[in-house]
Amino acid sequence: MGLRWAVEACRSAEPGPAAAFAGGALFAPEDLARFVPTDVLQDLCARDQIYLASDKAQFIFTCTNYNNLVSIMPTRQDVTADFVHVNGDTFWLLQLVWEHGTPGQRAVELGAGNAIVAAHMVARYHTVLATDLPGPWLHYAQLTLAANAGRGRPSAAVACDVATALRPGSFDLVAANSPWSPAAPTDRDGNELTFMAGGSTGTELPARFLRESAALLRPGGVAITLCLDPEFEDGSRPLMPVLDELRSQGYALACIDSPVFPTDTVTERLRANRLPTLRSARHIAVVVRNERDV
């Protein structure tokens, strides 16, 4: 009840304290009764969905309205191994889905995080899935899809590692913002920041996403994967053999440079911190089309 109320408050056309509270704003505890219905407030407290102190209260979720679709995120979280986030590249992926995907029956977002891209895809596809590992990512994917249920067609979050639980050759669209950071840093406890870890060169995990995304496609289907294209001082570009492999299998490919992470920024940051032999690095989208059986 409480979360449903917050979602609708977030969708309200008129900004006010209810929408601000749903978005994670702090309020004095005694002020909540002014705009939160009594039964809703009781439900939020019973479910421990309010951070409550003597002088402040805060909803444990942050609800954000994107074109009348609500994204749900944790209000308070440290940047640790289990970090859940929505970034500029999330919205670039959404733009690419709209530009390169064609309407169809089935779509999936792999490694979906809180699944806001999957929630948007419901407008074009009869059935939409979002996959991620068990834990906070899958939990927030489930919450976001549930918050937007009834505003489109069937959708569900599936616990699996990339695409291991999905049937090959059965999707019209596959979208993924794969982790691509090379030699990912660790949190203060020494845990690798898995939400961004792409492997030793930043291409190992994206390569898996690319292969598994392509395998999911029906004839004419499209897969869009965000990844890193690094080049090292020895001339090696570890992403290129993966793209050549897909081309040799009959897929059509296009690579699009990112407007979110400019090449010079990505290169300098990675070279200074983790990859001293890096010559250049591009953040790109790889668009794969299954033209083998069309």
Tell me what pLDDT residue 151 has: 62
pLDDT recorded at residue 263: 84
pLDDT at position 149 is 82
For residue 294, pLDDT beyond 60? no
- Give tens-digit pLDDT for 78-130: 877 788 888 889 999 999 999 999 888 999 999 999 999 999 999 889 999 99
- In 3D space, the residue among 49, 53, 57 whose CA is nearest the CA of residue 6 turns out to be 49
Task: Spell 162-180 as b/e; 16+ CB within 10 A means b.
Answer: bbeebeeeebbbbbbbbbb
What pLDDT digit, counting tens, does each position of 131-153 carry? 998 888 899 999 999 998 866 67
In whole angstroms, give the CA distance from residue 23 to residue 46: 20
Full set of structural domains in the chain with CATH: 2-66 (no CATH), 88-290 (3.40.50.150)
| pLDDT (tens digit per residue) in 260-273 | 988 877 888 888 77
Helix, coil or strand: residue 210: helix
Q: pLDDT for 165-209, tens place per residue?
A: 999 999 999 999 999 988 777 777 777 778 888 999 999 999 999
Angle at 75 between CA 71 and CA 76, to 5 degrees: 145
Helix axis angle for 38-46 and 2-11, nearest 10°, is 120
Give residue 191's pLDDT: 76
Which pLDDT score is estimated for 293?
Answer: 67
pLDDT confidence of residue 44: 92
Which pLDDT value is given to residue 150? 67
Which residues are 57's β-sheet partners? 27, 52
CB-based contact 174:108 (threshold 8 Å): yes
Over residues 198-255, the pLDDT tens digits come to 999 999 999 999 999 999 999 999 999 999 999 999 999 999 999 999 999 999 999 9
pLDDT of amino acid 77: 87
- Which residues, other chains included, contact 73 with Cβ-Cβ below 8 Å and sequence gap of 6+? 61, 62, 64, 84, 85, 86, 114, 140
Q: What is the mean pLDDT of residues 23-50?
A: 93
Report the relative pairing of strands 217-232 and 125-132 from DSSP bridges. unpaired
Tell me the average pLDDT across 283-287.
97
**140: exposed, middle or buried (Cβ count in 10 Å: 0-12, 13-18, 19+):** buried
* This prediction's pTM: 0.92
Question: 32 falls in which pLDDT band (50, 70, 90)?
Answer: very high
Cα–Cα distances in Å, from 42 out to 20, 143, 276, 284? 19, 20, 55, 47
pLDDT of 102 reads 80
